[in-house]
Amino acid sequence: MSKQSEQPSVVSRQPSLRVEENRARVDGDELAVEAPCEIRLGGRSYVLLMATPADLRHLALGFCLTEGLVASTREVLDISLGGDELPGVGPVYWADVSLPPELARRARARRAAPAATSCGLCGLESFRDLGGGIVPVRSALTVELENIQKLFKAMEEGQGIYRRTGAAHAVALGNAQGELLHLAEDVGRHNAMDKVLGMAMSEGRDLSECVCAVSGRISLEMALKAARAGLPMVSSVSAATSLGRKICEQSGVTLLGFVRQGRATIYCHPQRVLNQGEPLPGL
């Protein structure tokens, strides 16, 4: 496929029919662009993601980390980007990751078929593998609840694609003071998580000192990505699932849900969350 030099569009304006107060009018709506984005290893297809076609280098880097293909950026030799136009589909994109031969061989051996989404379960041969191979997160991080809420406010203010379309998830990384460090948006929660982790990895960020804020629920696959990356705290405006909580509990990740102004639900490892300088009681 030929390389594309232009920056991909992340929003597309399309005609629509708007009905309000029993009156119909022709209008135009901005839609979040969803496109096939293939991650390749050494020129060979590894996984096909449906994603927002921006920050694809970071997406590939974060994907390699959260799927357990690499442990650090030092193990990624190169990432090349490209794309093409397919009849009936439109623009398609790829990110080709170059790994050392042994890591590439292990990755291909783990995977028998492409997946439809970057879900955190890629490469697993059996349900018995769920949660396996995760090193428990060790971090002395403590964060005031109001600073976690401050990070969510910064994330909300930075969600440009969501404001225009209402159809994009966001993941943000912040520090203990609630300051925004990295922000990524994508039509898929999993892709947004991989992108923001790829941004942090590219800058050599110590993830054990970061707070993660997520716009969607914390399910098994999102918890696995957080744990594999070594994030000590992941929080959401929404809920956690039972398996999401279990993975966080077992891997030492502090998990918060329903983060709103002045309140939050803490599912496990509350020792990292402070309320007006005071530690919270244990569960």
Instruction: Give the Cα separation of 174 and 178 in Å (integer).
Output: 6
Name which of 213, 252, 216, 254 is nearest 235 in CA terms: 213
Q: In angstroms, how far apart are the furthest CA atoms of the chain?
A: 64
Is 64 in the active site?
Answer: no
CB 82 within 8 A of CB 94: yes
- Residue from 37, 64, 119, 122 carrying the catalytic annotation: 119
Which tokens sit at 195? Answer: 């992108």
List all residues 6 or more positions away from 256 whose beta carbon is below 8 Å from its beta carbon: 148, 233, 234, 235, 236, 264, 265, 266, 267, 273
Q: How far apart are the first and last CA of the chain?
A: 54
Residues assigned a catalytic role:
119
